[in-house]
Amino acid sequence: MSLPTRRTVLLVQLPIPPLGPAPIRGNVPLAAAYLKLWADSHALGSLYDIDILPAAETNCLSDRALVATLADRRPWLVGFTCYVWNIERTLWIAAELKRRLPDVRIVLGGPEITADNAWVLDTPDYDFAVIGEGEQTFAQLLLGLLGDEVPPLSVPGLYVPPAPGACRFDPSRRPPFRTPLPDLNALGSPYLAGILDAGDEQMLLLETTRGCVFKCKFCYYR
Ligand code: B12
Ligand code: SF4
């Protein structure tokens, strides 16, 4: 198999919509940074240029300007981190980006991507959706796409929808469960690796445990 030329992967985490004109703060792309760190340290950095869209663009641009800046970078694949506060805008940006770059692959990940979220999984403008912890799944996806349009083997945590036109939310395609990493130390630190700079937001996020049981009594927003 001949190796493809280097491919550009862009990771994007849209912020909470601001209530007013004050600058947006606190939108740290921690998930994207871990995805990049894991993929780069598993030899994928020699085949893919994995970049995180800088805060100056992510946090400041309008919807249309964001689409334009993403398209100008000619990405081979764009990965979006989807939270409840950015999912609608993310899906709109993804749809517009697909219109501008029909060949771009769109990957959705984050807490909004669950096996039963038909509202998201039924939408037409994405190619893959990652359910649960992302690092291993994303790396296996990038590996699987080296020679194929779709990974040749089933990847735990990776939802591969039917082609647009069919019903995109198909519970029978639910992927095998992605077993989380047994030890977070295996990840390393995106700050020490120089992917994130704590000075940008004057804040350093330190993940000591992972996952959400979605039922703690004191979690006031559940
Ligand atoms: C820390 C935290 C906060 C901090 C945020 C600090 C900061 N600046 O980031 C604070 C306390 C401020 C906070 C506030 C809120 N939070 Co909060 N928070 C969390 C918490 C505990 C951890 C989030 C985190 O950073 N995880 C670490 C990263 C690496 O994990 P991750 O984002 O899930 O990403 C992984 C996968 O999802 C996947 N992935 C993610 N993106 C992508 C992209 C691609 C392409 C791929 C392939 C994979 C992938 O791979 C990643 C690595 O494994 C989660 C619960 C939890 N345990 O997950 C809730 C959570 C994210 N929060 C939630 C909510 C609702 C809120 C609030 C809106 C609450 C409120 N009503 O005010 C606010 C507003 C958020 C804000 N930014 O201001 C919800 C989001 C629900 C949803 N469906 O989006 C969660 C899931 C909690 C819950 N029980 O529902 N939060
Ligand atoms: S307090 Fe519990 S329910 Fe709330 S985010 Fe943390 S683990 Fe999830």
At residue 222 the predicted structure's pLDDT band, cuts being 50, 70 and 90, is very low
Tokens of 14: 């849209």
**Ligand 2 atom at minimum distance from 211 CA:** 7
- Which of the ligands is closest to the CA of residue 38? 1
Provide the 3-class DSSP secondary structure of residue 198: helix
Task: Please check whether residue 190 is in contact with residue 33, taking contact to mean a CB–CB distance below 8 angstroms.
Answer: yes
User: Which residue of 218, 219, 220 sits with most ligand 2 atoms within 8 Å of its CB, as the best mutation to test the pocket?
Assistant: 219
Residue whose Cα lies nearest atom 64 of ligand 1: it is: 221
Residue whose Cα lies nearest atom 84 of ligand 1: it is: 83
The predicted model gives 84-97 an average pLDDT of 98
Angstrom distance (rounded) from CA 89 to CA 68:
15
The predicted model gives 155-167 an average pLDDT of 92
Strands 77-81, 7-12: pairing is parallel
Q: What is the pLDDT of residues 95-154, one digit of tens each?
A: 999 999 999 999 999 999 999 999 999 999 999 999 999 999 999 999 999 999 999 999
| Across 3-17, 74-88, 171-185, 203-217, least confident range | 203-217
The predicted model gives 166-181 an average pLDDT of 95
Ligand 2: list residues with CB < 6 Å.
212-214, 216, 219, 222
At residue 170 the predicted structure's pLDDT band, cuts being 50, 70 and 90, is very high
Residue whose Cα lies nearest atom 2 of ligand 2: it is: 216
**Ligand 2 atom at minimum distance from 214 CA:** 3
Strands 105-109, 128-130: pairing is parallel
**Ligand 1 atom at minimum distance from 11 CA:** 45
Residue whose Cα lies nearest atom 28 of ligand 1: it is: 31
- Which of the ligands is closest to the CA of residue 120? 1
Kindly list the structural domains of the chain, giving each domain's residue range(s) and its CATH number in brackets, ordered by start.
7-178 (3.40.50.2300)
Angle at 17 between CA 15 and CA 23, to 5 degrees: 75
pLDDT on residue 165: 80
Q: Model-level pTM?
A: 0.96
Task: Please check whether residue 132 is in contact with residue 142, taking contact to mean a CB–CB distance below 8 angstroms.
Answer: no
Task: Please check whether residue 72 is in contact with residue 98, taking contact to mean a CB–CB distance below 8 angstroms.
Answer: no
pLDDT on residue 214: 75
